Amino acid sequence: MSTDVAVLGAGMHPWGKWGRDFVEYGLVAARAALADAGLTWPEIQYVAGADTIRNGYPGFVAGATFAQALGWSGARVSSSYAACASGAQAINAARAQILAGLCDVALVVGADAAPKGFFRPVGGDRPGDPDWLRFRLLGASNPVYFALYARRRMAVHGATPDDFAAVKVKNARHGLANPYARYRKEVTAEEVAASPVVADPLRLLDICATSDGGAALVLSSMDFARSRGVASPVRIAGLATVTPTFPKTVPDLPDFATDSALAAPPPDRPFRASIAHAAYVEAGVGPEDLSLAEVYDLSTALELDWYEDIGLCEPGGAEHLLRSGATALGGRVPVNPSGGLACFGEAVPAQAIAQVCELTWQLRGRADGRQVEGARVGLAVNQGLFGHGSAVIAVR
């Protein structure tokens, strides 16, 4: 059985700090995706919303919120929350409905209006919530975790702050031509080194911002795409929403510690490496087939980890791969040709969807100013709190 679904439309609202309701960003993205697909809203049979916890009850039921804003049409809805993997969960929900034959065409939407500064814990007293506890007991904001990963990379693989700065320089150059990016300005390594320290060894320009933004996709069955005259659409060929395998030996947000590995050997693949692997297996491709990748660069150091996690190089080889130019536009496998979170910032429920928008435009050959020549296979990968995997492989 084929697991392919067609991407008929992709749309986004520019990232930034606009000071408006998240629904507005989602509507702009949804209407753009519908126009791109050549469809009208009443033709959509299913709406999959990616949730945001920062925007009250409408954010918790995003599928219905966007359906109501577009105009009640009787479409079925779902709403998914998986922190930074929420968009992938929403894509997965729509894809499952299509593959099950329960609908022919679906709209996936995610949007957020993020707070100023770094993310803070959700309000209230929740002593049983690890995310609440890590702020209250450890004072560990997100950049603290990013910095611990950077320190680990320096200790294990010999990375330097200069390597981290080179990631920012690359992504800033990529984002120059992206009309949806919040930051469209070249950055030098010297400017990264001169920016304030946030969590040693990471500086302000090593860490992604928090942003407002929205993204949407129109997905359909292959038969529906052909019925609309689209003979060779971009296709989602693999999608992974895997969880870790016990024992989990590297802590992630919001963990305080690892599982004990005394009673069981570590898994063959750490969690992040398992995310991309599951998508590769489903799509029948491997890292050697990739034309490009969009990875979850919460920090410059974390992008280097992802090179290894998605199989572009062996552990410890990311710095050499970066320095060789292989991950820059014009290189063997450009990584974050969109500019990544370095240029966008986090609009949490939208970002996994936005990654697939970029893959779609690249595979269509329409990523003006940042086009990866001859792009045929793209990977989008990130992860959410509490062990949510997120990887999508798109092909053409």
160/137: higher pLDDT: 160
Kind and range of the H or E run holding 190: helix 189-194
Band the pLDDT of 115: cuts 50, 70, 90: confident
Please give the average per-residue pLDDT across 124-149, as a whole number: 91
Evaluate the omega torsion of the peptide bond into residue 254 and state whether it is cis, within 30 degrees of 0: yes
148-158 pLDDT, tens digit per residue, is 999 999 999 99
* pTM over the 0.75 mark: yes
Q: What is the dihedral of CA 134, 203, 352, 145, to 10 degrees?
A: -20
How many angstroms separate the CA atoms of 186 and 165, rounded?
A: 12
Identify the weakest region by mean pLDDT among 113-122, 268-277, 342-351: 113-122
- Which has the closest alpha carbon to 13: 1, 23, 28, 3? 28
User: Mean pLDDT for the chain?
Assistant: 96
* pLDDT higher than threshold 80 for residue 281: yes
How many angstroms separate the CA atoms of 295 and 306, rounded?
A: 7
pLDDT at residue 119 in the model: 87
Strand, helix or coil for residue 205: helix
How many angstroms separate the CA atoms of 247 and 264, rounded?
A: 7
* pLDDT higher than threshold 70 for residue 1: no
DSSP string, 315-383: TT-HHHHHHTTTTSTTSSS-B-TT-HHHHH-B-HHHHHHHHHHHHHHHHHT--TTSPPTT--EEEEEEE
User: What residues contact 327, with CB distance under 8 A and at least 6 apart?
Assistant: 170, 307, 312, 321, 333, 334, 335
How many angstroms separate the CA atoms of 333 and 326, rounded?
A: 6
Instruction: Classify the C-alpha dihedral 274-278-279-281 as positive or negative.
Output: positive
345/255: higher pLDDT: 345
pLDDT at residue 36 in the model: 98
> For the chain, what percent of residues have pLDDT higher than 90?
88
Burial 135-147 (b: 16+ CB within 10 A, else e): beeeebbbbbbbb
pLDDT at residue 390 in the model: 96
How many angstroms separate the CA atoms of 154 and 300, rounded?
A: 13
Kind and range of the H or E run holding 164: helix 161-175
> For the chain, what percent of residues have pLDDT higher than 70?
100
Please give the average per-residue pLDDT across 83-111, as a whole number: 98
How many angstroms separate the CA atoms of 30 and 164, rounded?
A: 35
Please give the average per-residue pLDDT across 264-288, as a whole number: 95
Please give the average per-residue pLDDT across 300-304, as a whole number: 98
- The full set of domains in the chain, from first to last, is 5-117+212-234 (3.40.47.10), 130-208+236-395 (3.40.47.10)
Band the pLDDT of 2: cuts 50, 70, 90: confident
CA 74, distance to chain mean position in Å, is 30
Please give the average per-residue pLDDT across 347-354, as a whole number: 97
Identify the weakest region by mean pLDDT among 101-105, 261-265, 269-273: 261-265
262/101: higher pLDDT: 101
pLDDT at residue 9 in the model: 98
- Which has the closest alpha carbon to 78: 70, 67, 69? 67
* pLDDT higher than threshold 90 for residue 120: no
* pLDDT higher than threshold 70 for residue 203: yes
Give Cα separations from 55 to 77, 86, 152 (angstroms): 19, 15, 35
pLDDT at residue 335 in the model: 98
pLDDT at residue 24 in the model: 98
Band the pLDDT of 57: cuts 50, 70, 90: very high
